[in-house]
Every structure is written in C-alpha cells, then in structure tokens.
Structure 1
Amino acid sequence: MIAAQYRWNNHHVDQPSAEAQALAQASQISPIVAQILINRGKTTPDAVQAFLQPGPEQLHDALLLHDMQKGITRIEDAIAAEQQITIYGDYDADGVTSTAIMYETLTMLGAQVNYYIPNRFTDGYGPNVAAFKKLIAAGTQLFVTVDNGVAGNEAIAAANEAGVDVVVTDHHELPQELPAAYAIIHPRFPGAEYPFGGLSGAGVAFKVAQALREEIPQDLLDLAAIGTVADLVPLVDENRVLVYFGLKLLQQDERPGLQALIKEAGIHPEEITEQSIGFGLAPRLNALGRLGDASPAVELLTTLDESQAQTLAHQTEQENRRRQDLVAQISTAALAQAEDADHRDRLALIISGHDWHEGVLGIVASKVVEQTGKPTLVVNVNAEGRAKGSGRSVEAFNLFEALDGHRDLMTAFGGHHMAVGLTVPAENLTALADALDQEAANQHLADQGPSELTVAATLAVPAATMNLYHELAQLAPFGTDNAQPLFAFAPEQVTGVKAIGKTGDHLKFQLQTGTTRLNAIAFGAGKQADELTQADHVAVLGTLEDNVWQGRHSLQVMVKDLSAQAPTVVVERTNRLHQAMFTQPGTYVFFHENVYRQLADHLPDTATALLYSGQPLTPLAADSPVYLVDCPDLTADLTTVVTQLQPARITAYLYQKESLSRLGLPTRSQYAKLFKFVATHQHVDVGHQLTQLSTFIQIPRTQLIFMIQVFFECGFVSIAHGIMDGVTQPDHKDLTAAPSYQLRQQQMQTEEDLLTCPPAALTQRLQGLMDRK
C-alpha cells in the first residue's frame, strides 16, 4: 500500500458557483479560473483584471518605505563626497541578487563602491563584528546591508563607534531590540505606511534602486525576480509584478553571466518560468554559499566579460553538482538512520553523522521530513564533539518553540516555526532528542495527522487538456500564497510504471481512463514502482505541466502526492502448483478432495486448509486473506465460499491441470467407436489398460474416462473391480441425462466464467462478491 503524505482538501472548482459563473462572464475567463480567483480573494472584475494583467502602476511608491528618504539621502551624500561604500550582503540566492542590484545601482550613480559577502562558515549570517572592523580598516566609510542587518546590533554598534554609518535594507523578522543603524529600510517596520510587507531582500534592494534612480529600474527586474522566487516570499501584490516582468526580461536577458548560467542549467531561455528559477537558477546560486565563498555568484551576475561569465557559470555548475552529490550521499545515510531501531518510533528526529558538510544539512533535513513526515534535525559532529546543523519541520509542529525552552542544552540556536539552525555539544544530543520527543507529545503531534494540501478539484483523466492548462497558466507566476492549482485524479488504471533516472530515483507512469492516457512524473518516488504496478484504487495529486520534448508539447502531471491500496484481488490462474504459492498465512480453500489431500499437510503453521463440502461457512476474522487453490466445478460454489467467508483479500490460483473446454464434449463418432468396442469386447481391465485402450480406439485418455463414466451411469457398461463389460441389450437412454455429462457441461461453463475470461473480468467478479458484505 502507498499511503498519501498529505490530507487532500478538495475545493471542487470544477463545480463553479453562480458567483464564479458571473465573474467568469464579466472577466472573459473560464469558470474554473474564476472560482480559483474567488477562493483566493479576487471577487470583482477589477481585482481579477489587476491580478491577471500586472502592470508597473501596481508598484508602490518606494519613498513610503520606512527610512527610505533618510537612507537614500545618506547614500547620495556618500556618492557626492566620494566616500567608500561597502555593500554587506548574504550568501544565499536572495542575498547575492540583492548585492548585485545594489552594486549595479550605486556603480551607475558613480559611487565608489565594493561589496562583501560573508562566509557561512567563518562569518555566519548577518553583520559580523570582525568583518566590519576589517572592512572599516580597509577604508569603508558607509555600510549598506542587503538581505540582512536588522539583527546586527553588535556589529552596527562597532561601526558607529568607529564613526561609520550603516544603512540597513532588510526584510527579515524584526527583533525586539533594533540596531542603532543610521537608517532601517524595511517593509514591515512598525508604524510605517508601506502597503506591502512581503518583499524579499532583492525586492527591498530594488525599491532602494527605484528611489535612488527616481524611476522603475527595468534592467534590474531579472535579478529581483530571481531573489523573490528563491526566497519563497508571497508571490502576490508587488512581488507578482516584479516576477511577472522579471521573467519576461530573463527570457531575453543580455547579462553574460545569466546567459551562461541558463545554458549550464540546460534551460531554454524562451521557456523560462518561475520553476526555472526555483529548480534551476536559484539552487546553483545557492550552491556557492552552501559549500564556500558566494562572492563569485555576485561576479557572475554583474560581469560584462563573456569569457569570465562562462568561467564563473561553469564553476557554479560544478559546485552545484558537488552539492547534489553531497546531498545524495548524506540523505541516504540520514534516511537509513531515521528508520533504525533508535529512531523509527520517535515523533521527531535528531539525525547525526561525522564528516557531513554542514552547508547542505538543511536540504537533507527537508528530504527526511518529506520521506518520514517527522520534524527533523540533521547535525554534523566534528572531532571536538560539537554538533552543528539545521532542522526542518511540518506545519503541525512549531520547531522553534519546541527547542526554545531547551537552550541550556545548546550553545547556539535560532530560527522560526518551520526551520532552525543550532549548535549543541554532542554529549547533549540524546537529552535533546528526548526533549524534542516530549515537546512533540506536548504539541500533540501524533494526533495532528498529515499536513493539509488544497486541492482545486478532482478531474477525470480526459478532462485534463492543454486548453485547461493554458487557462490555468493565466494565474502564473506561481509561488507562496499563489500556489499552482493541484488536481486529484482517480484513473481507471495505471500503466507503463517504471523507475527512471540514473539510479531509478524517480517514477514515471500513465494515468488511463478509457482510451485517454496522461503521463505522470513523481520525483523521488522510484522505490514505489513495484507497489504501484500491483496496486488498486490509485489516486494521484499533482499539477498540470506542459512537457516540451524535441519541440513537441504534451500534457503531464507533476505528482505532489500519491496513494494506492494493495490489491484486494490478485488473479494468478495456473495449471501447475508449486511450493512458493503456499508460504503465506491465510485460509487456503480447496474444492476437490484429491487436491486437498495432496497439499493440506504442506501449508505453513500460520495457514488453514479448508475443503468446501457445501456446508455453511463461518466468516473469517478481519484482514484475513483467502487463497482459492483449485477451480470449483460450479461457479456457484465459488460465489458461496467468498460471500460466506468475507475475506479481506483474495488470491485466485484456480488450479486446473487440463482445460475441459479445450477438450470439448465427445463427438457422436467417438461415442459410436466406444459403443462398438464394448459390444465386441468383454472383461476389459480399464483399471490397468486404459492407456492402451485410448490408443487402440484413438480417443484421448481424459475424454475416454469421461465417456466410460457416462456409459456406466446410463447402464451401457458394468464395472466391477476395474473390469468393464458391455451390457447386453441395455435400455435406451439419453447420454445428456447422465450426471457426469451434466457435470461436464457445468464445469465447462465454470471454466468460461473463471478460467478463460479476461483477468479484469474475474477481478471484477471477485471484487463484486467481496463488496456484498
């Protein structure tokens, strides 16, 4: 069985309300799209128009941001005075694009400017006292932070003491005690009037550029789009405008660095979407900072030298591949640890290892959470006994809150609901694991069940069309708070199941209803190929995507979640029995005594042999499987057995050595041959000479046995102690009245019902009998 990882909350947008129908007509969109927009708070034609047709007029006045005027005035003064300005950035994709935006803006304005990207492992996140002092000693007279700074109290105080101002541009959560910066430009500053608080670091840097240049800096939209998508901020309001137009610029980008990076990533520029950023460009930019120095990422984004761009893009690609290899290696070890005896029964996990690269542990933690559904910390333990790493959580568990009360066990800790970073003495890991488990119990994590996903609708496979895809594409770009619509599918069958990828990590299959097929891809689910092949009642949840291969477009489902039941009926009809069929616990039903006697003593101790004799049967215990060993003479007998036993699962071997239907009923000429023989031969030893008799009169042995039985029942022959004699002047009787003849007709009908019918028909028959409970 494949269990769904999420709860599916179906909104049934395929059944639009009257309000949606009216909005669709007024806005000239499909009712499905209208219903989705209503569900997302867009209920008027004007709101729909503004959402579907983003425009530059939707960008807010940059001067509304807190301290914006004060901050840009200080920057302009520094430019005029030819002061050395240092942009203090961050090492992730949002941080390096923010740095590039600010660097290009100040360079364009004639500033004497450089930038500094802190090292994740030596400087840590945000303003670093030692780094600030070193930069001041090198001549920095003004700091402008991007994508960081609101928590840099100590470093900013050190700068102030040295007579150096700091202009903070940031978007992270504001601490209770703010730093004494010259200006703090932040979209969610308390009491400020800025109308949208969801900007990324790159978005804030873009607004500073807008204020400094007194125009919308269209040439920076590509960088703003990358930072916005990479940082998973809400893709609504101003962010939607930045990404919408940023994607258009990326599709024809003239930056040598981005051109080279796009090529290294194997992306066709004209097909760039927000997914190209999220899964292609952002991970590559992040890789540099995860593994070492992220400064080359800013060089890549800002260089005008094509040769340098190609060199830096190739370096970035190599680092990304190294990052992927590290993630794969550590994830394999981490997932194995998650399932061992010390971890599998815990509600939350602490996974530890040695010589694990600390820059990728957050990604590994996410993979463990995806596989197990459990909040997970992944840490590396160094030679000095220090464990350092990252944690990821699920919606139902506040990881920051769970660990916040146990700071005595840690030497460093920070984060939020879904993600944390921490350092802890290795000797405290067991105590921390126990504390985390107790916190999971306190938050009733076990009772929460899986996280919920919003499902747009359940679609029949034929309803998934390119036309629907294009209608939904109007809602793009997709991201946080504007999720790509998820659709559930319940196909009649799943075909073409196979694991793909170099190591079979991914799953490819087709959803089929009637003659319509729809390709589906499930990343990371390759191990489920065998289960899916054998499963019944498959349900698939995913997004509709346009798959382009060699210039041809086709629709496919990108699978987000999957469920499938183990088959309740397995048809394995056979004319040969072997030991492997009789190794599992359950009830093995026999319809013929000779087969029962041969096999009953060879079943495992956990199995029961039942010879059906026509007597009423007692229903089995719940979850009990039944194995139908041999084929009954009457279809009605199978019906009775299944309906009375009420099994949870059925495996139908329905063994029959020889097909009676293929043999057929004897012909008139065959009966005449036998009648002539018994009239002229007496004392025939049919007990020992049946094979010779079969050869002599040229009638197959099985058929001959049946004919002799019919003759015996009609009184045409007598048989005593294996000796057959013809009866002189027997009464005239119709052969079809013989019990054996009638039984043979019934057996042939049973074969047609159970043995020669298509497997799907037999499965449906047995499933129907089970459903009568």
Structure 2
Amino acid sequence: MIAAQYQWNNQHVDQPSATAQALAKEAQVSPIVAQILQNRGVDTAAAVQAFLNPGPEQLHDAFLLHDMQKGIDRIEDAIAADQQITIYGDYDADGVTSTSIMYETLNELGAKVNYYIPNRFTDGYGPNVAAFQKLIAAGTQLFVTVDNGVAGNAAIAAANEAGVDVVVTDHHDLPQELPAAYAIIHPRYPGAEYPFGGLSGAGVAFKVAQALREEIPQDLLDLAAIGTVADLVPVVDENRVLVYFGLALLKQDERPGLRALMKTAGIQPDDLTEQSIGFGLAPRLNALGRLGDAAPAVKLLTTLDDDLAQDLANQTEQENRRRQELVAEISTAALAQATDANHRDRQALVISGHDWHEGVLGIVASKVVERTGKPTLVLNVNAEGRAKGSGRSVTAFNLFGALDQHRDLMTAFGGHHMAVGLTVPADQLPALADALDAAAVAQHLADQGPSEVTVAATLAVPDATMALYQDLARLAPFGTDNSQPLFAFEPEAVTQVKAIGKTHDHLKFQLQTGSSRLNAIQFGAGDQAPALEQAQRVAVLGTLEDNVWQGRHSLQVMVKDLQTQEPAVVVARTTRLHQAMLTAPGTYVFFHQNVYQQLADRLPAAATAVLYTGQPLTPITDDQPVYLVDCPDLTADLTTALTQLKPTQITAYLYEKESLSRLGMPSRSQYAKLFKFVATHQHVDVGHQLAQLSTFIQIPRTQLVFMIQVFFECGFISIAHGIMDAVAQPGHQDLASAPSYQLRQQQMQTEQDLLLCSDSALTQRLQSLIDLK
C-alpha cells in the first residue's frame, strides 16, 4: 500500500460558481481559469486581464523604495569621485544574480567596481567583519550589499568606524535592531510606502539598476527572473512581470554564460519555462556556493567571452553533478537512519553522520521530510565533536520555535518556522532529539495529520486535454502564491509501471480510463513501483505538463502524490447526481423518500439501498463502502445513521439540488406580499397556477412553495384539492412556530455543517464517525 503524503483539499474548479462563470464571460477566459483566479483573489475582469497580460506599466516607481534616493546619490557620488565600490553579495542563486545585476549596472555607468562573494564555510552568510576589513584594506571606499545586509550590524559598524559607507540592498526579514548603514533599500522597511514587499534580492538589485539608469533595464530581466524564481518569493505583482519578461529574454539570450549553462544542462531555449530555472539553472548556480566558492557563478553570468563561458559552465555542471552525488549518498544513509529502531517511533528526527558535506544537508533534510512527513534535522559530526547542519519542517510544526527555547544546547542557531541552521556539540544531540520530541507533543503534531495541498479538481483521464493545458498555461509563470494547479485522477487502471533512470530512482506509469491513456512520472519514487503494480485502485495527484521529445508534444502528469487505496473518507459533494456515481458495490444511504424512489432501482446488483427514517439500521458486516447519496435535513440524522452502520469507508455525495442557505429565509416584505395577495384573492389554483402566481407577486417559486406551507401550518390559509383560500379571522400565530419554518432552519444549519464547510472539515467529521466503530 502507498499512503498519501498530503491531505488533498479539492476546490472543484471544474464546477465553477455562477460568479466565476460571469467573470469568465466578461474577462473572456475559460470558466476553470476564472474559478482558479477567483479562488486566488483575482476576481474582477480588469484584475484578470492585468494578471494574464503582465506589462512594464505594472512595475512600480523604484524611488518609492526606502532610502532609494539616498542610496543612488551616494553611489553616483562614488562614481563621480572614482571611488572603489565593492558589491558584497551572497553565495546562492539569488545572491549571484543580484551581484551580477549590480556589477553590470555600475560597470555600464563607468564605476570603479568589483565584487566579493562570501564563502559559506569560512565567511558565513551576510556581512563579515574580517571580510569587510580585508576589503577596506584593499581599497574599498563604498560597500553596496545585495541580497544581504540588514543583519550585518557588526560588519557595518566596523566599516563606519573606518570611514567607509555601506548601502544595503536586501529583502530578508528585518531584525529588531537595524544596522547603521548609510542607506537601507528594502521593500518592507517599516513605515515605507513601497507597494510590493515580495521582491527577491535580485528584484531589489533590479530596482536599484532601474533608478540608476532612469529606465527599465530590459537587458537585466533574465538575471532578475532567475533570482526571483530561485528564491521562491511570490510570483505575483511586480515579480510576475520580472519573471514573465525575463523568461522571454532567456529564450533569446545573448549572454554567453547563460547560453553555455543551458547547453550543459540540456535546456532548449525555445522550451524554457520557470521550471527550467527552478530545476535546471538555479540548482547549478547554487551548487558552486554549496560546495565551495560561488564567485565563478558571477563571472559565468557576466562574461562576454564565449570560451570562458563554456569553461565556467562545464565547471558548474561538474559541481552540480558532484552535489547530486553527495545528496544521493547522504540521503540514502539519512533515510535508513530515519526508519531504524532509534528513530522510527519519534515524531521529529535528529539525524547525524560523519564526513557529510555540510553544504547539502538542507537538501537532504528536505528529502527526509518529504519521505517521512516528519520535521528533521540533518547534521555532520566532525572530528572535534561539533555537529553542524540544517533542519526542515512541515507546515504544522514551528521548527524555529521548538528549538529557540533550547539555545543552551547549541552554539549557533537561526532560521524561521520551516527551516533552521544550527551548530551543536555532538554530545548534546540526544538531549536535542528529546527536546524536539517534547516540542512535537506540545505542538500536538501527531494530531495535525498530513500537510494540506490545494487540489484544483478531480479530472477524468479523457478530460486531461491539450486544450485544457493551454488554458491553464495562461496562468504561468507559476511559483509561490501562484502555484501550478494540481489535479487529482482516479483512473480505471494503472499500466506500464516501471522504475526508470540509471539507478531506477524514478517512477513512470500510465493512467487509463476506457481508451484514454495519460503518461505520468514521479521523481524519486522508483521504489514504489512494485506496490503500484499490485494496486487495484489508485488515486494520483499532479500537474499537467507538455512533454516535448524530439519535437513531439504530448501531455503527461508530473506526480506530486499518490495513494493505492481509497481514503477512508472521500468528499465528492455535488448538486448533480450521475449514473457513474451509482455503479460501485456498496451501501447507498438515502435521507429523502423522493430521491430514494428515483434512484434505488438504478443501483447495481451488488449494492444495497438504505432509506434512513429514524429507525435503527443494521451494522455493515463486511468491508462494503458507504455512499451518502443525499444531504439529510438534520446533521444528527447523519451522525446516528453512520454510528449505527459502523462503516470503514465513506463517500459523501450529499446531493442537494438547491442551497437553502443561499436562498435564505423569506423577508418580511415577501411574507407581506403573500399575505396581501391571499387576503384579496380567493380560490387560487396553486396546484396548477403556481408559476403564474410566482411571476405575479415576484417571489421565486421555491421560496413561494415554502411560504405557502408555512401559512398553511399557521392556519392563515386553507388548501383543498389544490385550491388555496384565506382563512377568515385566523388566530395570531408566530411564523417561526410552523414545523416547516423550523425544519428550514435545521436544514440551513445542516448545510453549514455538511455542505458549506471545507473538504478537510467534512473529512474530519466523517473520519471521527468511522473512528467510533
């Protein structure tokens, strides 16, 4: 059996709401795209058009950034005075692209400029006092930091003491005490008015270039796009513009280093997407800084020499392959440790080894979290007994908060909710592991369940078409806050299952329903091939991709998650029942006589129809699934029925033709209209003239039927053989006392409980009833 790694929260965008359909028509997009955008807060035609058609006019005024004018003035003064400017960068992909953007800009303006990329292992992250002092001694008269600086208090203070100004350009979280820099250019500076706070380091550097050049630096969009995608900042607003046009530039890039890097990575420029950056270019640029010196990455990005570019690209490719080998080797050992007797019962993991390269431990920790679902620290222990490494977490567990109160166990520590870096004496690792487990208990991690992912819809295999893919492609470029839509598939069969790759690391198979087939691939899941081959029922979650091979295009699913048995609870709420929903063996529970009479005879021979009337039900004696066909009037009826049946699997259709909550209770003015009509009209044939009456008094037919029933129960009218008459001198009666009125209130509450709640909330409610058995 293969268990799902995530909880799937289905948004059912294939059943767009009326407002989404109206938006689709007005904005001239498909209803599915309109529903996705509406779910993401893009809910007007103008906003849709702006989102789908990024333009330079959507870039904000660079001088709105805090201290931008002050920083630009200081840089221009340095250029005019021929002062030595040093760009102090960072060793990741965002850092080296930021450095390259600033370096090319200042070079173009005639500055005397060089750059310094700190070493991860000797300098650490951000401004380093010793590095600053060395650079000042070598002649630096102005520092411009990129992708770092807001936490560099000590180094900046040392620069100030030496009479050297520092202009900080950064995007990281601001500490409580800011450095005494000459200028701090930051999109989220407290009190600043910049319209978009989600820029990457490369994005901030791009805005500085925009201000210095007094125009949009179009030739730097490729670098800005790489840094933006690599740093996982939101791909919305201004970032969407940078990535959109940056990708266009990358496809025709004349930058020798990027041409050479794409060639060694096997990336065809015409087929390049944001995924090519995220999974192709960025990891290669990151590899240099993870394993050693990242300065060659800046040289690669900025050189105009084709031969040097190819040499540097080859070097980068070699380092990336070395990184991959190290990650594979250490991951194998770490995963084995994660499942051994000392670790498998822990809620959070502390994993350590000797001679593990510290530059890749964050990647390894992510792989362990992905496979186990547990927050994980992965550390290397050196000969001196020092353990150093990285941690990654799950959404439900604040890793930084869990460790922050145990700083006495560590010699260095920093990070945030989902990721940390730390150094700890090796003899403190057992205490650290116990502290992490205690935090898991305190944060109720075991009760949280798997992390939730948003699923756009469940698609039938035949509905996964190139036309749908092209509709969805209009939402690209994808990334943080604009994720590529995930779709669930429940095929009739899974065929051609095989592990692929040199070491059989990856899983490839086909989804099949009828004559329709759809290829699927899941990286890193090759060991699941035997279980998938034996599975009878499979649910697959993934994105639709255009797979290009030798010039031929075909659709495939890039798998994010799969499970080889139906979950205990399947939420499939609907306003339309189809015969396909009634074909599987099982027990079908009905709560309304009319729905039961219409459908009970249409069930297969291996199915049982049950009408719940309040009488005790016989528990199910085998593993038959239960299908909740329609929605009960009372939530308590559902609870009672399922408690008596004791099912192990539930599929919740909870069919209701029309939402009473959306219809609402009649207003006082509507009741007054009906009362006035009844008082002035006798012998009304409501059995045959209800539609005309609804039109005449302008009350929706469904609402009118309900109101007439309430009046009848309150004794305001009589109805005989379909003829309605007013009752002379009726007694005073509160409308709320009518049984139909009270039932409507109960039904509306039931809708809140069962139909209008989230999928995860309903799943939890139904799962709790299964757990009672």
- String of CA shifts for 1:467-509, please: whole Å, max 9, x gaps: 0000000000000000000000000011111110111111100
Kindly state the Cα deviation for residue 621 of structure 1 after the two structures are TM-superposed. Answer: 9.5
> Using the alignment, how far apart are the partners of 1:388 and 1:505 within structure 2?
28
Distance 2:400 2:215 in 1: 41
- Counterpart of 1:409, as a letter, is L
Question: In the alignment, residue 365 of structure 1 is paired with which amino acid?
Answer: A
- Aligned equivalent of 1:309: 309
2: CA distance between counterparts of 1:517 and 1:233? 36
Match of 1:62 in 2: 62
Deviations 1:497-531 (A, max 9, x none): 11101111111000000000000001111111111
User: What does residue 285 of structure 2 align with?
Assistant: 285
Identity %: 84
Please, which runs of 5 or more residues in structure 1 have no aligned partner?
569-618, 625-645, 650-773
The offset of 1:93, in angstroms, is 0.1
Displacement of 1:620 after TM fit?
Answer: 13
Task: Tell me the secondary structure at the aligned position of residue 559 of structure 2.
Answer: strand
Shift of 1:565: 2.3
What residue is the counterpart of 1:173 in the other structure? 173
Aligned to 2:46: 46
Q: Is the 8 A contact 1:106 1:113 kept in 2?
A: yes
Give, in angstroms, the shift of residue 28 of structure 1.
Answer: 1.2
Amino acid at match of 2:390: S
Which structure 1 residue ranges, 4+ long, deviate > 6 Å from structure 2? Answer: 619-624, 646-649
CA distance in 2, matches of 1:175, 1:475: 35
**Mapping of residues 215-364 of structure 1, within 5 Å:** 215-364=215-364
Contact map agreement 1:461 1:489 (CA 8 A) in 2:
yes
Please give the alpha-carbon distance, in whole angstroms, between the structure 1 residues aligned to 2:55 and 2:412.
45
- Does 1:448 find its partner at 2:430? no
| CA displacement at 1:647 relative to structure 2 | 14
**Which SS does the other structure have where 2:562 is aligned?**
strand
Query: SS at 1:160's partner residue?
Result: helix
Q: Return the letter of the residue paired with 2:469.
A: Y
Partner of 1:380: 380
Amino acid at match of 1:84: Q
* Structure 1 counterpart of 2:464, one-letter code: A
SS of the equivalent of 2:537 reads: strand
Instruction: Report whether the alignment pairs 1:421 with 2:421.
Output: yes
CA shift digits 1:15-54 (9 cap, x unpaired): 0111111111111110000000100111111000000000
Using the alignment, how far apart are the partners of 2:208 and 2:319 within structure 1? Answer: 31
1:498-647 matched pairs, under 5 angstroms? 498-565=498-565
Classify 1:36/1:64 alpha carbon distance in 2 versus 1 (closer, same or farther; 3 Å): same
Residue 81 of structure 2 corresponds to which residue in structure 1? 81
Matched, 1:159 2:159: yes
Return the offset for 1:536: 1.9
- Cα shift at 1:80: 0.2
Q: Find the counterpart in structure 1 of residue 138 from structure 2.
A: 138
CA offset at residue 87 of structure 1? 0.1
Helix, strand or coil for the counterpart of 2:145? strand
Larger CA deviation: 100-109 vs 558-567? 558-567
The residue aligned with 1:33 is 33
Letter in 2 for 1:335: L
Aligned partner of 1:6 in structure 2 is 6
Alignment partner of 1:368 is 2:368: yes
Give 2:328's aligned amino acid.
A
Deviation sequence 1:573-597 (CA, Å, 0-9, x none): xxxxxxxxxxxxxxxxxxxxxxxxx
1:111 matched to 2:88: no
Aligned to 1:395: 395
Aligned AA (2:57): E
Alpha-carbon distance in 2 for matches of 1:333, 1:529: 21
Quote the Cα distance in structure 2 between the aligned partners of 1:305 and 1:174: 39
For 1:537, what is the secondary structure of its paired residue? coil
CA distance in 1, matches of 2:114, 2:273: 32
Query: Contact (CA 8 Å) 1:536, 1:566: kept in 2 or not?
Result: no
Instruction: Give the counterpart letter for 1:489 in structure 2.
Output: F
Distance in 1 (alpha carbons) for counterparts of 2:526 and 2:520: 12
3-state SS of 2:538 partner: strand
Say whether residues 1:72 and 2:72 are aligned partners.
yes
Q: Which residue of 2 aligns with 1:210?
A: 210
Partner SS for 1:517: strand
Give the distance between the partners of 1:401 and 1:72, measured in 2 at CA: 39
1:535 touches 1:567 (CA, 8 Å); kept in 2?
A: no
1:410–1:424 contact (8 Å) kept in structure 2 = yes
Matches for 1:609-688 after TM superposition, within 5 Å: none
Residues 149 and 169 of structure 1 are in contact (CA less than 8 Å); yes or no, is this contact kept in structure 2? yes
- Looking at structure 2, the residues matched to 252 and 416 of structure 1 have their Cα atoms a distance apart, in angstroms, of 38
Q: Deviations over 1:131-185 (max 9, x none)?
A: 0000000000000000000000000000000000000000000000000000000
Contact 1:622–1:648, Cα closer than 8 Å, also in 2: no
CA contact (8 A) 1:536 1:567 kept: no
Number of positions where the alignment pairs a residue of Structure 1 with one of Structure 2:
579
Answering whether residue 62 of structure 2 is matched by residue 23 of structure 1, we say: no
In 1: Cα distance, 2:187 partner to 2:325 partner: 38
* 1:302 shift after superposition: 0.1
Question: Unaligned stretches of 5+ in structure 2?
Answer: 569-618, 625-645, 650-773
Contact map agreement 2:500 2:508 (CA 8 A) in 1:
yes
CA distance in structure 1 between the aligned counterparts of 2:157 and 2:368, rounded to whole angstroms = 40
Q: Which region of structure 1 is more displaced relative to structure 2, 527-536 or 352-361?
A: 527-536
TM-score (norm 2): 0.74
Which residue of structure 2 lines up, in the alignment, with residue 90 of structure 1? Answer: 90
Q: CA deviation at 1:242?
A: 0.1
Q: Following TM superposition, by how much is the alpha carbon of 1:566 offset from its aligned partner in structure 2, in angstroms?
A: 9.4
In structure 2, the partner of 1:488 is 488
Q: Is the 8 A contact 1:534 1:566 kept in 2?
A: no
CA distance in 2, matches of 1:623, 1:181: 69
> In 2, are the aligned partners of 1:391 and 1:419 still within 8 Å (CA)?
yes
Aligned residue in 2 for 1:738 = none
CA shift, 1:623, in A, is: 8.6
Cα distance in 1 for partners of 2:250, 2:133 equals 38
Match of residue 124 from structure 2: 124
Of the structure 1 ranges 443-452 and 18-27, higher mean CA displacement relative to structure 2 is found in 18-27
With over 3 angstroms needed to count, the CA separation of the structure-2 counterparts of 1:140 and 1:21, relative to structure 1, is: same
Q: Does 1:183 align with 2:186?
A: no
**1:657-683 deviations in whole A, cap 9, x for unaligned?**
xxxxxxxxxxxxxxxxxxxxxxxxxxx
Deviations 1:304-328 (A, max 9, x none): 0000000000000000000000000
TM-score normalised according to structure 1 size? 0.74
Whole-Å Cα distance in 2 between the matches of residues 456 and 361 of structure 1?
A: 33
Which residue identity is paired with 1:130?
A
1:620-659: CA deviation from partner (whole Å, max 9, x where unpaired): 99899xxxxxxxxxxxxxxxxxxxxx9999xxxxxxxxxx
| 1:10–1:231 distance in 2 versus 1, CA, 3 Å | same
Matched residues in 1 for 2:647 and 2:264: separation?
57
Q: 1:535–1:566: 8 Å Cα contact kept in structure 2?
A: no
If you compute each CA radius of gyration, which structure gives the higher value, 1 or 2?
1
* Structure 2 counterpart of 1:410: 410
Cross-structure match for 2:767: none
Q: 1:373 Cα shift? A: 0.2
Q: Indicate the residue corresponding to 2:472 in structure 1.
A: 472
Give distance in 2, aligned partners of 1:147 and 1:440: 33
Q: In 2 relative to 1, CA 441–567 (structure 1 residues): closer, same or farther, beyond 3 Å?
A: closer
In the aligned structure 2, how far is the partner of 1:621 from the partner of 1:155?
73
SS in 1 for 2:119: coil
Distance 2:237 2:118 in 1: 31
Give the whole-Å Cα distance in 1 for the aligned partners of 2:531 and 2:323: 31
